[in-house]
């Protein structure tokens, strides 16, 4: 993915510096949270990644699937002189396909309750989305990343990792504040943790951006109902007072 190593004129270097936005440290941290080293080997042409132990592109034994990654690798090696900036939508469409397909693989694993494998696919899909060249529409990156991370949040939730579910939901909110999904997923995880006041805050915050969202209004009502029933119960302090 590195830029071609050609000596750049100072003017060119300066231009590139201006055009390349710095990576967002929050997004980078989200992607790298699930980082793990893998045992892989390359084919003789140095294009195709294969699992180390069996030299397979897709290996159930190693739980590795490099099919989409290799597709991307082939796209890039087939276009070594990608002009800068390239004509619109050259890599774009294929990358969208790869992100989408990897996400769909995650969704299929999600539907069959294979949470950890689903999380792995969503992480891959997020990684592919992050490969988007800086000159491509940032809006597209936001769309792709928010959907993938919202699904990963749901998978973490189902997997019982509520903190990761909240972390991903927070990223979704950062990427796409008006989208109810992020707020909804965060509130659900907070409720599961028994943090009702925080859950209420999360839903109220989400409703600011989407005031007529029926799903969120329902959750808010439920939370308020439970909080009210708590308020009506005698607290331990009250009991002590009654006893004396
Ligand atoms: Zn293998």
Residues 85-130 pLDDT 10s = 555 555 577 888 999 999 999 999 999 999 999 999 999 999 999 8
In a domain, 243, yes or no: no
Distance 36 CA to ligand 1 centre (A): 16
Assess whether 70 and 185 both reside in one domain.
no
Distance 156 CA to ligand 1 centre (A): 26
**Its pTM surpasses 0.85:** no
CATH number of the CATH domain containing 116: 1.25.40
In the chain, what percentage of residues exceed pLDDT 70? 82
Assess whether 130 and 208 both reside in one domain.
no
In a domain, 126, yes or no: yes
Assess whether 104 and 152 both reside in one domain.
yes
Assess whether 109 and 167 both reside in one domain.
yes
CB neighbour list of residue 147: distance below 8 Å, 6 or more residues apart? 103
Tokens linked to 123: 């992480």
Contact of 226 with 196, CB cutoff 8 Å: yes
Tokens linked to 154: 């749901």
Question: What pLDDT digit, counting tens, does each position of 177-187 carry?
Answer: 999 999 999 99
The domain of 188 spans 178-233
Question: What pLDDT digit, counting tens, does each position of 191-208 carry?
Answer: 999 999 999 999 999 999
Q: Return the number of other C-beta atoms located less than 10 Å from residue 180's C-beta.
A: 17
Distance 61 CA to ligand 1 centre (A): 5
Contact of 14 with 110, CB cutoff 8 Å: no
pLDDT, position 137: 72
In a domain, 144, yes or no: yes
Distance 40 CA to ligand 1 centre (A): 9
Contact of 106 with 125, CB cutoff 8 Å: yes
Distance 191 CA to ligand 1 centre (A): 40
Assess whether 148 and 185 both reside in one domain.
no
Distance 55 CA to ligand 1 centre (A): 6
* Residue with tokens 């980078």, as numbered in its chain: 28
Question: How many structural domains are present in the chain?
Answer: 2
CB neighbour list of residue 209: distance below 8 Å, 6 or more residues apart? 177, 178, 179, 180, 183
Assess whether 38 and 145 both reside in one domain.
yes
Assess whether 170 and 149 both reside in one domain.
yes
Instruction: Reply yes or no on whether the pLDDT at 35 is more than 90.
Output: no
Residue 227 parent element (H or E): helix 214-232
In a domain, 3, yes or no: no
Assess whether 121 and 145 both reside in one domain.
yes
């Amino acid at each position: 993915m590195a830029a071609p190593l050609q000596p750049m004129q100072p003017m060119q270097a300066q231009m590139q510096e201006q055009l390349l936005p710095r990576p967002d440290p929050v997004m980078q941290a989200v992607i790298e949270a699930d980082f793990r080293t893998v045992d892989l080997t390359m084919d003789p042409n140095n294009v195709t990644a294969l699992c180390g132990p069996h030299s397979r592109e897709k290996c159930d034994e190693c739980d590795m699937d490099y099919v989409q990654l290799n597709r991307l690798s082939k796209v890039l090696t087939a276009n070594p002189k990608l002009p800068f900036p390239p004509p619109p939508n050259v890599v774009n469409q294929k990358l969208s396909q790869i992100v989408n397909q990897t996400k769909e693989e995650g969704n299929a694993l999600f539907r069959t309750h294979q949470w950890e494998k689903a999380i792995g696919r969503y992480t891959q899909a997020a990684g592919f989305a992050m490969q988007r060249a800086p000159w491509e529409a940032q809006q597209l990156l936001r769309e792709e990343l928010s959907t993938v991370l919202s699904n990963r949040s749901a998978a973490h939730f189902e997997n019982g990792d509520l903190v990761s579910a909240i972390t991903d939901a927070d990223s979704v909110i950062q990427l796409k504040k008006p989208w109810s999904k992020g707020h909804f997923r965060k509130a659900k995880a907070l409720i599961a943790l028994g943090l009702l006041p925080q859950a209420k805050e999360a839903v109220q915050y989400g409703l600011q951006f989407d005031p007529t969202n029926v799903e969120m209004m329902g959750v808010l009502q439920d939370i308020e109902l439970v909080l009210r029933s708590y308020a009506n119960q005698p607290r331990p302090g009250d009991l002590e007072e009654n006893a004396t």
